[in-house]
Every structure is written in structure tokens, then in C-alpha cells.
Structure 1
Amino acid sequence: MEKHNISSTEELESDESESSLTKVVILGAGFGGLMTARALAGFKRSLTGGVDLSITLVDKNDYQLFTPEMYEIASASSAIDGTQQLKEAICVDVVDSLKSHDVNFLQRSVTGVDPKLQQVKTDEGNIAYDYLVIALGSEAFYFGIPGMEEYSVPMKTFDDALLIRSRVHELMTRKPEAHLIVCGGGPAGVELAAELRKACTDKVAGICPAITIVEGQDRILPMFSEEVSVSATKRLEGDLGIKLKTGFFIGEAKSDRVISKDGEEIVGDIIVWTGGVTAVSVLQQMQLELTKRKQIANRPTMQSQQYDNIFVMGDAAETKDSTGALSAMTAHEAVHQAPLVAKNIVALLSGVQLEEYKIKEEGYVITMGGKKGLVVLPSGRVISGYPGWFLRKFVDFRHFRSVLPLTEALSIWYRGARLMTKNDKPNR
């Protein structure tokens, strides 16, 4: 049996049933799931009393999508020919990440969980577990806005980013004066709008599509300080000519426009949705208690409220840390939760006290089109311009290095940097 890529669920179950291994199954190979699998494999040596683990990672894709760079795919130059090139610049091969770790990988779609029978349901059979980690991430959430899901393009998957790219390229070919509407003035919407503006602008030919960011709050990036919003507004409106429509609560979307709750309309050719996410809907098929936000209720130890042997992390969990603060639905939080989840599984097996999660502030980096960026330090200080962009690229490499050997991390980082600089035009 191949250790890192098992082709048969039955083969896995048969092999493990003949052993005394404690079965740990991790659902989701995103930021939290993949790092938990790697960390848990590293902790195996510390187990005593004859306990040994079988670790299985399950995901419908054989790659981890580096979501912070999704906007680069959506705005990728038409000079970049081929989907594979784009994929290799933003996706981590799961099998490559697990090469030096004793972790099985199953490419399956999860359809549910039976906590009483301790089984994961997939599209190709059930998988038994002793301990379960749920790290399945999130999906687009439209707040019940009529027409939004039907007429907009979300930006949550690799295919979403490719669809935005193809629609923009097709539209610019036949209608250079096109209008793009980005719904949501958070980091994802700001980064996408800024990079699309840079990628679509051809100053020599006079082609410059209009872009409008629509935000319900009274300023963009409302989750940050006013200083951050002011700096971002200056870059977007002043340097890039992007229109910001704040205080605009969308009441309806149609094929060619968004309409506010007050009846105001903004007409556009493409509508992109970055306005919200929610935990994946498959959580509703897991017989676990969900919160109002459709997440699984967690304890500060990262265990579910109902079962000691089920751990939930990242966007799938509503986690409050030891101070009562609510964990945000960000990749940053999932990355920090991963080693604790692995450590607490080992602690549970070893009969020692579990640790509680503490939210760690490390700042935030937002790209602003081209080689410009905004860095929000934990102290609240804001750094803008080229240093912000450079720091973002360093943060990107740090992630790749955390899940890949050095040479492979450098390779994927370099491929991404080399390909994506084709998006950056020298006219601004």
C-alpha cells in the first residue's frame, strides 16, 4: 500500500483493522488540516505506553489552494497560457507536502459524519476513526440577497478565480469600457479590485475599465482602524481610479446591476462577490450541534462541545479562546490552531492536561495593486507602499516553507512571483 496516496478506502480500512493503531482522521487539507497532519506526525515519537497512530488526511482535491493569492489568478495576464501554470503558482501538492511524514492521504469528498459510530461518510465509502479533526473551511455566503448567488461570481475556489479571469478577458476584448462591480470592501475585495485595475489597464491604448467596490459599512476595510481605511482609500481612489461606494447595503442583484435596499442602482458588466463566507454546508450532515453562524461549537481546547474525540478548527469552528475572545474566520487563525490541535490529541492519548487556545495577534498584510501593499502591525502602526508588498511576499514564502521542503517551497514561491509580475504594469 502506498503510504501517501491511498487509492482505496476499503484497502485503508482492511489494513488498519488488522493493527492496533489509533486512527486519527483529518478532514480538509487547507491551512489548518494539512499543518495539523504534519504536526501530529511529528508528535508521534512522543507517545508512550505502546500507543501508535495511523493518520489519514481526506480532501476532495489533491492540492492545497493558497487562498491569499487568489486575486492574482483572477487578474492573471492573458500572456500566461495554460491553467496548469497558474495552478502550479498557487497550489501546494498535498502528496509532496507529506513525503517525509507518516500520513495517509485520501482524495475523497466528505458527505457526513456519524459521531456515534465514529465514521466519516465519503463519496466512496466510510472511514472509521478514533479521533477526528474537522477542518473543512468555508464557502461563499450571500446573506439571502435575492439574485446574488445566481448573477455574481464568488472568489472561494481555484475554479472561481479562473472564471473571473476568463470573463474579464472576454469582456475586455469586446467592450473595453466595461464596468466591474466588486461586492465587499474587506481585504479580498480590495485586493481583487486593485489587482484587476492594474491588470486590465492599458494606458497606451486608452483602455481603462471602471471598477466599483460596494461596501455596506461607512468605509472600506471596516475591520481595521480608520487610518488603514484612509490609506487604502487614497491608493484605490487617488492612484488607481477605483470608485468606492460605501454605505450601500445590497438588497438585490440582477444580471447587470446591484440594487441597494433604498432602491439605488449600480449597473455593471461583471459582478464579483467577496462580501461574506460561512462554514461549509456539509457540517449540517455531521449530527453535531451548530451555532447561529452554522459553525460547530468548540471549546478553548479545540474539542467540540459534544464529543471529546472530535476536534474542530478554522472556519468550521466557532472557537472562543481562554479569554472569551472569538476566533476570526481567517487562514491566520487556522495556522495557529493547527499545532495546538495536534498537541491536544497527543495529550488526550497520554492522559495529560490539554492546553487552551489563545488568539495571537501578528498583524495583517493587504496588497494594493502592483508592488504596493499595506501592513497593519499588531501595535496598530501602518506601513504602506513597496515595503508592504515585499513583506507580503515574505509571508507567502513563510507559508510555503511551513508545508514543503525548502527547495520545493522556493520553487513554488518563485513560479508565483515570476508569473504574477506579468500582471504588474509600469504605468502607475
Structure 2
Amino acid sequence: MQTEIKPHKAVPHIVIVGGGAGGLELATTLGNKLGKKQKAKITLIDKHRVHIWKPLLHEVATGSLDTEIDGVVYRAHAKRHHYQFQLGQLVDLDRESKRLSFAPILDDEENEVVEERQIGYDTLVLAIGSISNDFGTPGVQEFCSLLDSKHQAQRFQQKLLNLFLKKSSTTESAEDPIRLAIVGAGATGVELSAELNHVVDVVSVYDNMTEGKTSLSIDLIEAGERILPALPERIAESATAELEKLGVRVRTNTRITEANQNGFVNDSGELIEADLMVWAAGVKAESWLSVVGLKTNRINQVECFRTLKSLSDPSIYAIGDCCHVEMEEGGKVPPRAQSAHQMASTVAKNIVRELSGKDLVEFKYTDYGSLVNLARFSTVGSLMGNLVKGSMFIEGKIARLMYLSLYRMHQLSIHGFIKGPFVILLSQISKIIRPKIKLH
């Protein structure tokens, strides 16, 4: 039996599916502009209860970021910003009747808590992000850790802690390394490699069971000619040098054909042994987007006009990693948090304008540069690419400060300029009194 949740008919119902960077910022903006004045009903739906900024998932995976402190609880945030939140996993979209179907919500013992239900909409915004693309490589889903969500990152962290525990409780020399292999040398793979080196230093401080420092052996594997293929070559060269200083083995031009319980096998038949494996090679959108009749590209992104409306349905927008839009100057919008932020701003404007009977505006992407954070060791990147003539290469403390400011801007956009600074201050204070990494 299905329960249908119907919106109040007096006002349009705007449903946002996905509470990532773009989805949460959009819900906040529309809630404050339309929901507060009861000009529209805003509903945000996500399969998780807590929001974590996706570029920081590698810090969740290493325990450097505590989700209990740095996460945003959707239900509490919704109350403050005049929108509604519902927990749910989208399983079907009926475009003709404008209804979304959501799977039943089960507890840890597989008991049904909330039955399958449907939600109607007038305007739908798809902000479901992306998932890892394993390219059909055998063994990846079975043997590798993925970092698409908070839960996956937390599972990786538990595996890592268990490896440290196993090392500290055996008679083996502490110098025998824990072997990690990461496939995909984009931002996630590169930042995770550096963060892991930071974590092993911190864990050794807290570990009183071994006499020496537990060491890590890290292989960073990339099929292309260099790491960070989507970023300027100078950033890649600088990041490579920093990683090699940390002892990371950077393997470029290495294509993985299989993952098994012992490690990764490359196209030459070589086994790259690993105790813990991570797959971070490429992303794609959910495959069901094309099944429901929306026009999608080869990685399942929704094809959109420059207004960010779907080519297939005038009542559906898409933002973030699940959106594909051809820009006037050519090229596609990169899957970055700054892209989702800018798309959310454009869609917020267009929804307000649409309700007022005004013409829609076109999305214009502005590249503010790219920064790669190598934990406490270094930060490199290009700053404000389209605001200066060319791009300005930066590294060190200035680059680190700019990297941190990106997250602070996200916090201000969802908490506001009054509460936001207090949230940031409390986060900084908590770092003084809690362990440097999450040890449980």
C-alpha cells in the first residue's frame, strides 16, 4: 500500500532531490525567499539525514573531519530556513503525472519504518550528484572502497582503523607498512593520498602499543599521462612533487583491468598488492535518469538548456554533477562544488522569475580557479582564473587559506551571514579540545 503525500494546492510545490552543495544551497535560498512568505512550498529530499560537503569526504574517510560536529542536520536546518525535509531514496519518476516514488525506509534490522510513498511536484530540481564510475572493471564493487557518500567514507575509516589496530596488536615490526592503493588521480585521489600520510603521523602519537611509527605504503594509480588531468599542468607537476616527497608512489599510464582480494591488476598483468583499495577513477550520474525518459549523455547526466531546464521536460531543472549543459563559449561545465553553487544560484533566480512571469536567465559559468589540498603538507592551485588575465598559480599558506575559504563560503551560504560565523567559530574551537582525528 502506498501513501501519497500531496502538497497544499494554494501554492506551487517545488521539490529538490539531493541535498549536496547545490541542492542544500538552493533549498536554503528558496526557503528564505519563497517558503518564508508562503509563496511556494519547498521540499528537499535526500537519502541521508546529514549533509557533508562532498569535497571534504576524503577527510571523513581519514577521520580528520568529524561528521557529528561538521555535518548539517537537514531536518533542523529546514526548520530554520522555511523548507521541508523528507528522508527518502528516489526510485521512480512519473513525468506525466508529476509524481516521484520513494523506496520504503528500513531500520538496521530491515524492518519497514516508512512505507513506499509518492510525492507530487509542480517544479522538480534534480541535484542528485554523481557516483563513482568503475567502467565495468571486474572486482571493483566487491573489493574496493568508494567515496561517494558519508557512509562509504565512514566505512573506509573503520577499515583503516582496524588495520592500525591489527598492526599495533601483532609482533610484526611497526616498520612493515600498511599497503594502500588508490585508483584515480583526480582531486579526490590526490588529496586522500596526502591526508593518509597526515593521519599516520597522528595515529602514531596516540598509539602506545607499538614502539615505532606505523608506516603506510601508498600507490596512486592513474591511467592518463599525469595526475589531476582536469587541472592545469603546472598544478599537476607541483602536486606530483609534493606527493613524491611524502613517499607516495605515483603510477601514471597505468590502466587497471581487475581488482581482487590481493590488490589491483594492471594491463601488463602486474599485481599491485594492497591491504586497502580505493576506487576514485571518474564519475557518472545515476543510470535511472535515462530510464525515465530524460535525455542524457554517455555518463547519464541530464541534458539541459542554458537556463538549466531539462531538454526533455520544461518542469524539470538539473544542477551539479548530474547536469550537462553546453556553454556558449564551448566546452562543458566541470563537476566541481563551485559549479553546483553557481547553478543553484541560477536556478533559484529562474524559479522566482518563472513564478513572476518573467523571462529566464541563462547560466554562465565563472571559473574561480582550482585548488588541491595536500593535508597539512601543502596546497597548490590556480586562483580566480576568469577574474585575472590567465590564471595565477599559488601554493603554500596563501593557497591553503583560499582552500579553506571555499568551505567557509559554503557554510555562510547555508547558515547565513549572522549564524554562519558562529558555526565556523564553534567548529574551530572544537578542534582545540577533540583529538586531531576521529579515533572511533
Contact 1:88 1:412 in 2 (8 A): no
CA distance in structure 2 between the aligned counterparts of 1:218 and 1:406, rounded to whole angstroms: 42
Q: Are 2:191 and 1:191 aligned?
A: yes
CA distance in structure 1 between the aligned counterparts of 2:164 and 2:406, rounded to whole angstroms: 33
Query: Shift in Å at residue 95 of structure 1?
Result: 2.9
CA distance in structure 1 between the aligned counterparts of 2:17 and 2:296, rounded to whole angstroms: 17
Cα displacement string for residues 333-374 of structure 1 (whole angstroms, at most 9, x for unaligned residues): 111100111111222222221111111111122111225211
Specify the alignment match of 1:30 in structure 2: 20
Which of residues 401, 406, 423 is equivalent to 2:420? 406
* Structure number with higher relative contact order (C-alpha < 8 Å, ≥ 6 residues apart): 1
Query: Shift in Å at residue 412 of structure 1?
Result: 5.9
CA distance in structure 1 between the aligned counterparts of 2:402 and 2:97, rounded to whole angstroms: 47
TM-score (norm 2): 0.85
Query: Shift in Å at residue 417 of structure 1?
Result: 4.8
Cα displacement string for residues 43-93 of structure 1 (whole angstroms, at most 9, x for unaligned residues): 43999xxx931111111222212122222222227xxxxxxx822233212
Contact 1:118 1:129 in 2 (8 A): yes
Cα displacement string for residues 230-272 of structure 1 (whole angstroms, at most 9, x for unaligned residues): 211111112x111111110111111112111222321111111
CA distance in structure 2 between the aligned counterparts of 1:138 and 1:385, rounded to whole angstroms: 30
TM-score (norm 1): 0.87
**1:13-412 aligned within 5 A:** 13=6, 16-17=7-8, 19-44=9-34, 52-76=39-63, 86-123=66-103, 124-175=116-167, 176=174, 177-201=177-201, 202=204, 205-238=212-245, 240-370=246-376, 372-377=378-383, 378=385, 379-404=390-415, 405-411=419-425
CA distance in structure 2 between the aligned counterparts of 1:336 and 1:302, rounded to whole angstroms: 11
Query: Shift in Å at residue 216 of structure 1?
Result: 0.8
List runs of 5+ in structure 1 lacking aligned partners. 1-7, 78-84
Query: Shift in Å at residue 416 of structure 1?
Result: 7.0
Q: Percent identity?
A: 28
List runs of 5+ in structure 2 lacking aligned partners. 104-115, 168-173, 206-210
CA distance in structure 2 between the aligned counterparts of 1:392 and 1:53, rounded to whole angstroms: 36
Equivalent residue letter for 1:409: V
Count of residue correspondences? 402
CA distance in structure 1 between the aligned counterparts of 2:376 and 2:432, rounded to whole angstroms: 13
CA distance in structure 2 between the aligned counterparts of 1:417 and 1:261, rounded to whole angstroms: 44
Query: Shift in Å at residue 179 of structure 1?
Result: 1.0
Q: SS state of the match for residue 212, structure 2?
A: coil
Query: Shift in Å at residue 320 of structure 1?
Result: 1.8
Contact 2:58 2:192 in 1 (8 A): yes
CA distance in structure 1 between the aligned counterparts of 2:426 and 2:407, rounded to whole angstroms: 10
Cα displacement string for residues 119-165 of structure 1 (whole angstroms, at most 9, x for unaligned residues): 11112311111111111111111011111121110111112112221
Equivalent residue letter for 1:110: L
Contact 2:163 2:178 in 1 (8 A): yes
Q: 1:246 to 1:412 in 2, by over 3 A?
A: farther
Query: Shift in Å at residue 419 of structure 1?
Result: 7.6
Cα displacement string for residues 259-297 of structure 1 (whole angstroms, at most 9, x for unaligned residues): 112223211111111112111234245332222111111
After superposing the two structures, state which structure 1 stretch, 168-177 or 121-130, moved more. Answer: 168-177
Contact 1:112 1:283 in 2 (8 A): no
Q: SS state of the match for residue 436, structure 2?
A: helix
Query: Shift in Å at residue 375 of structure 1?
Result: 2.9
